[in-house]
Structure 1
Amino acid sequence: MKVIPSEQHGFCLGASTTTQLVDSTFDWTTALSNKNSVDIIYLDLSKAFDKVSHIKLLSKIANLGISTQVLMWLKDYLSKRHMYVKVGYDYSDRFSCHSGVPQGGVLSPLLFIVYCYDLPDGLKTHPNVKIQIYSDDINIYGNYNEQSKDEVHSAVSESLRRMVDWANSHGIPINLNKSTVFHIGKSFSGEYSVNGTILIKSNLAKDLGVLFDSRMQFTNLIDHITKKALSTLFTILRNVHTNDQHVLLRLYKSYVLPHLEYCSQIWNPHTKKLQRKVERVQQIFTRILFYRTATNLLPSLPSYKIGLKHLSLQSLLYRRVFNYLSFCFRILRLHTKLRASKYWGFRISRARTGGLGLYCKGISTVSNNIIFNTFFRRGARWMNMLRLNIVNSANLATFKKKLRKLDLLRLLKMEDY
């Protein structure tokens, strides 16, 4: 029996927020490419980890054929737990925990996934209705055209009704007032409601930390992450009183870079304007760093490119492209939960260098810039520009090593900063 469903991307080997979002955006952009629309429902579960019923959880584990000894050990692990609040040296009364998995426990994510393992199959009501789950974040979406609009709307509504029934029977309430409907495309199938509550329709959706708009552009997201990165950078520079270059570099890499690179495979900008906006954060940092760590007054600052070389940094554009290709390699080598055959196909390459011959499935060849630069389509173009001896590397470490030896951006006909 398959315990962890393919729709679950949380706390699983080879899965992450990136794998879920890459898979979702492929479905959405494929629909847009075929002149379809998509309705996406984001469901807000209230305190899901705290509401897990121990009785139902143990019953599900038993149904999976787990040995009696392990089952009894898990029962003992979950039972006779107490909680209290400590303020200073004072303690509140102790209360017994009759539900929930221990917060921060090593087993807790796995136990929650087991608790929900039967959920995706129960929500599948139509071939055009898909489910995506990351831990307790659940999305239901359906794609449709004018002819199938009413049919898919009814199917998504039925999936939503089943989701509410499952949540109620498992003691995990859904906060319908915080659940939203996000629409992509020209045609909208109509409102969604549950028990008389109409779900809020939003023009923006924050999916696992990535901000989407209805046109699948990422201008709002890039505005947000650059502001957040600059705010974090200036907070560090104001409060860390050191001129040690190595310390400041480490703080930048630990606290600022993650804002600029989280799930960049999804939103990697294709326009110069947005590329410059992201790069500007690192340009500001390097300029301040040279001023701050100078032992005497500098007659002039080094150029950005020379400064990066001195600090052993790469441009943010280079880092995004490098990570992009590395993720493509991982998908092709089945190092992730994603199946490459869903997104890519192969054909005989006519390139003199013997390219990979990769092409993106589903997405039409005549499309706008947004669809043209989606992850799998752009990934296919870039991977085809690499020599076969690089693409056929034995492992990811070797692939990365070979990439580092290339003038990568020049090979991909891109201008570095």
Structure 2
Amino acid sequence: MGTVLGPALFNIFVGNTDSGIECTLSNFDNNTKLCGVVNMLEGRDATQRDLDRLERGARAKLMKFNKAKCKVLHMGQGNPKHKYRLGGEWIESSPEEEDLGVLVEEKLNMARQCALAAQKANCILGCIKSSVTSRLREVILPLYSALMRPHLEYCVQLWGPQHKKDMDLLEQVQRRATKLIRGLEHFSCEDRLR
């Protein structure tokens, strides 16, 4: 009962938070994101008005934003990096934020996201290597597909590697995985993991 009731009550409480909002508002789970184009003072003012509206709406519903988790991510060249308030407190600016498992930074450089994906996949590969004694393709390939590949491909349409060094980093993980498979050492990385 509690697993169904909690999300239902949350949806009731946040159901109409977007009324009167000028910028783009996204609610997912218990996260609220406000996005706006701020290339002129009007954009800054619209964003601040929306923050004020959200704060008033939360107070009216006896809810509070966790202001310690609220951050501003300024993106784009020549961004004036305006400061914003939520309630009476200034919101801290951040050079990068993680959103649904993807690390986004202000210059949209995805090198750190590639490194994090490779690190997670390498950790899983280490677990597979130390806990599975068989090196047969029929054993390793399903483990790779189920446990490692999701980390290398999650939201790759958004953060896909654009620089050779990032691609090489991800391919290095795949090469390490294929070295576990007996008899496939001489194939290229792409052939081995199909």
Equivalent residue number for residue 249 of structure 1: 141
Equivalent residue number for residue 129 of structure 2: 237
Equivalent residue number for residue 11 of structure 2: 113
Q: How far is 1:230 from its partner?
A: 0.5
Equivalent residue number for residue 111 of structure 2: 219
Q: How far is 1:115 from its partner?
A: 3.6
Aligned residues of 2:102 and 2:155 also touching (Cα < 8 A): yes
Secondary structure of 1:143's aligned partner: coil
Are positions 1:157 and 2:157 aligned together? no
Equivalent residue number for residue 83 of structure 2: 191
Equivalent residue number for residue 186 of structure 2: 302
Question: CA 1:110/1:254 → structure 2, altered by over 3 Å: closer, same or farther?
Answer: farther
Secondary structure of 1:175's aligned partner: coil
Aligned residues of 2:140 and 2:180 also touching (Cα < 8 A): no
Indicate the structure whose relative CO is greater, using CA pairs within 8 Å and at least 6 residues apart: 1
Question: CA 1:306/1:182 → structure 2, altered by over 3 Å: closer, same or farther?
Answer: closer
Secondary structure of 2:33's aligned partner: strand
Question: CA 1:210/1:249 → structure 2, altered by over 3 Å: closer, same or farther?
Answer: same
Equivalent residue number for residue 289 of structure 1: 181
CA distance in 2 between partners of 1:259 and 1:110 (Å): 30
CA distance in 2 between partners of 1:110 and 1:234 (Å): 40
How big is each residue's C-alpha offset from its partner over 1:153-209, in whole Å with a ceiling of 9 and x where there is no partner? 222112112212222222332111221110012222421123332211110111111
Question: CA 1:141/1:283 → structure 2, altered by over 3 Å: closer, same or farther?
Answer: same
Are positions 1:204 and 2:96 aligned together? yes
Secondary structure of 2:82's aligned partner: coil
Q: How far is 1:253 from its partner?
A: 1.4
Equivalent residue number for residue 68 of structure 2: 177
Q: Which amino acid aligns with 1:151?
A: E
CA-based RMSD: 2.3
Q: Which amino acid aligns with 2:146?
A: S
Secondary structure of 1:205's aligned partner: strand
Are positions 1:261 and 2:144 aligned together? no
Q: Which amino acid aligns with 1:112?
A: F
Aligned counterpart in structure 1 of residue 26 of structure 2, from 109, 120, 132:
132
Question: CA 1:280/1:119 → structure 2, altered by over 3 Å: closer, same or farther?
Answer: same
How big is each residue's C-alpha offset from its partner over 1:82-135, in whole Å with a ceiling of 9 and x where there is no partner? xxxxxxxxxxxxxxxxxxxx23x3x6545533442211224x13xxx2112222
CA distance in 2 between partners of 1:170 and 1:270 (Å): 45
* Structural mapping, 1:143-154, within 5 Å: 143-145=37-39, 148=40, 150-154=41-45
Q: How far is 1:218 from its partner?
A: 0.5
Larger radius of gyration between Structure 1 and Structure 2 = 1
TM-score by length of 2: 0.86
Aligned counterpart in structure 2 of residue 276 of structure 1, from 158, 161, 168:
168
Aligned residues of 1:184 and 1:215 also touching (Cα < 8 A): yes
Unaligned runs of 5+ in 2: none
Secondary structure of 1:144's aligned partner: coil
* Structural mapping, 1:302-341, within 5 Å: 302-305=186-189, 307-308=191-192, 313-314=193-194
Aligned residues of 1:184 and 1:214 also touching (Cα < 8 A): yes
CA distance in 1 between partners of 2:69 and 2:89 (Å): 11
Question: CA 1:161/1:138 → structure 2, altered by over 3 Å: closer, same or farther?
Answer: same
* Structural mapping, 1:59-70, within 5 Å: none
CA distance in 1 between partners of 2:129 and 2:185 (Å): 19
CA distance in 1 between partners of 2:129 and 2:166 (Å): 25
How big is each residue's C-alpha offset from its partner over 1:363-388, in whole Å with a ceiling of 9 and x where there is no partner? xxxxxxxxxxxxxxxxxxxxxxxxxx
CA distance in 2 between partners of 1:261 and 1:301 (Å): 23
Question: CA 1:287/1:255 → structure 2, altered by over 3 Å: closer, same or farther?
Answer: same
Aligned pair count reads 193
Aligned residues of 1:211 and 1:220 also touching (Cα < 8 A): yes
Aligned residues of 1:286 and 1:307 also touching (Cα < 8 A): no
Question: CA 1:240/1:111 → structure 2, altered by over 3 Å: closer, same or farther?
Answer: farther
Q: Which amino acid aligns with 2:29?
A: S
CA distance in 2 between partners of 1:197 and 1:258 (Å): 39
